[in-house]
Amino acid sequence: MNEFLKARLKLTGWYLFIIMLVSSFFSLGIYQILTREMERGLRTQALRFIPRERFGFDETILAEVKQRIALNLILVNGGILLFSGFASYFLADKTLKPIEKAMEEQKRFVGDASHELKTPLTSLKTEIEVALRDKKLDLKDAKQLLISNLEEVDKMQSLADYLLLLSRYEDGSKKLDFKEVNLAEVARKAIEGLKCPAKERGIAIEVKLKDAAIRGNALSLIQLASILIDNAVKYNRRGGTVIVKTAKIGSRAILSVKDTGVGIKALDIPYIFNRFYRADSSRSKVNVDGYGLGLSIAKSIAHLHGGKIEVESEPAKGSTFSVTI
Ligand code: ADP
């Protein structure tokens, strides 16, 4: 039997047990009160109308009434059992559904992560096996092989780093250390770290940074900005532009990253923040490295700051990601 069906039946049983326990106590109480009152009523009546020397009342009436009350209470309890059985089964499903969903997501996540790890591992293994079988392998070939191996190891390391970040930010029990942070400074630091890859691809990064102070965790906000700017560079065309803006509007601070890249199809937009989701364009056409984890991490960081992240995009024209905190 499916684990969740088992848990659902167990929970239904517990709900029913509690309901029936309460109902039985009530019924017992009602039975006691009713029969006592009945007996008292019959005695008073008998006292009033029957001479003292012949005092007494028909005990069979009392027994019959008691029996009828008991029968009615049993019927009512049967009804309660039937109704609460259905209701409990329904409620148990409602209680367990979010847990079932979270577990399914977890299973999918482990499956996806293993799949992503398998690709570089398989290519690493194949390269080493082929090299070991090659009797004429010289030092130059061996060095080439090690360079290629290192690339695969780098890929696995970056996946492990992403997974660690994700688990850190999605773990609700760990609170980040919040201080006064200026989003403009955050953006500057993120851009500093991405100047090289942008230069390599001939992409200009324009900045329009206005002071925007908020309470937050500087390190995680720099990670968030880096993810968005890195994507804006990765999914850009050669010689394209990335515009990074920060501003404060009322009590809200805004960071936006606009690019002139491949854009995202409307069909893909609802899914790009899901873990391991990569739009087809990034898998095939642009063919850039990635695991589809960056935006889920960015979203978790925005949520940890009580903020949100939104995207506007047009295929072949570009995208704008905005974080509002
Ligand atoms: P990764 O970049 O590693 O694939 P992300 O979670 O950062 O993972 O992004 C998920 C997907 O969203 C990407 O694969 C890509 O298809 C799409 N995407 C994200 N940012 C952009 C962007 N600036 N322009 C176009 N597509 C983007």
The bridge status of strand 241-249 relative to strand 204-209 is parallel
Contact, 174 vs 153, CB < 8 A? no
312 alpha carbon to ligand 1 midpoint, in Å? 13
pTM > 0.95: no
Q: Whose CA is nearest to atom 11 of ligand 1?
A: 278
Q: Going by CA atoms, what residue is nearest to atom 19 of ligand 1?
A: 231
CB of 54 within 8 A of CB of 30? Answer: no
C-alpha 258/C-alpha 214 separation (Å) is 22
Q: Return d(Cα 57, Cα 47) in angstroms, integer.
A: 9
Cβ of 316: how many Cβ atoms within 10 Å? 10
Please tell me the predicted confidence (pLDDT) of residue 57: 64
What is the whole-number distance in angstroms between the Cα of residue 210 and the centre of ligand 1? 26
Residue minimizing CA distance to atom 12 of ligand 1: 272
Give residue 318 CA to ligand 1 midpoint distance, Å. Answer: 12
User: Cα-flanking dihedrals φ and ψ of residue 277, to 5°?
Assistant: -80, 130
pLDDT tens sequence for the chain (325 residues)? 678 889 999 999 999 999 999 999 999 999 999 988 888 888 887 777 766 556 566 778 788 888 999 999 999 999 999 999 999 999 999 999 999 888 888 888 899 889 888 988 999 999 999 999 988 888 998 999 999 999 889 989 989 998 988 888 887 767 788 999 999 999 999 999 999 999 999 999 999 999 999 999 999 999 999 999 999 999 999 899 999 999 999 889 999 999 999 999 999 999 999 998 998 755 554 567 888 999 999 999 999 999 999 999 999 899 999 999 9
Q: What is the DSSP letter of 171?
A: -
Say which DSSP state 235 is in: T
Tokens describing residue 76: 């009512």
Query: What's the gap in Å between 313 CA and the centre of ligand 1?
Result: 12
Q: Could you tell me how many residues make up the chain?
A: 325
Residue to substitute in 109, 235, 322 for testing ligand 1 pocket (most ligand atoms within 8 angstroms of CB) = 235
